[in-house]
């Protein structure tokens, strides 16, 4: 996992990248013959917030 978080004056940027690898084991229809597959999970999240006025915030998110 990698994470970046930075704040400017009235402006905030955030980013996160997750990666997970492993094995997926599915039950078998025949005894002793389970199906095994590689499993990969990747996720990217980006967010930008900007304070326009004390009561108004602009937010942009992407995932």
Chain mean position to CA 13: 15
The pLDDT score that the predictor gives to residue 41 is: 87
Find all residues with CB under 8 Å of 1, minimum gap 6, and list them. 16, 17, 18, 19
Strands 11-26 and 35-53, sheet pairing: antiparallel
Can you give the pLDDT at residue 55? 92
Q: Structural domain tally of the chain?
A: 1
How confident is the model at residue 39, as a pLDDT?
A: 83
Look at residue 47 in the predicted model and tell me its pLDDT.
95
Which range of residues forms the domain containing residue 24? 2-62
pLDDT per residue as tens, the chain (63 positions)? 899 999 988 889 999 999 988 887 877 777 777 778 888 889 999 999 999 888 999 999 998
Give the DSSP letter string of 14-50.
EEEEEEEEEEEEEPPSSTT--EEEEEEEEEEEEEEEE
């Amino acid at each position: 996992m990698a994470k970046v978080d930075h704040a400017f004056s009235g402006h905030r940027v955030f980013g996160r990248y997750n990666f997970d690898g492993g094995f997926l084991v599915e039950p078998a229809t025949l005894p002793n013959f389970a199906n095994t597959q590689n499993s990969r999970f990747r996720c990217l999240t980006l967010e930008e917030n900007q304070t326009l006025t004390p009561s108004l915030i602009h937010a942009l998110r992407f995932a």
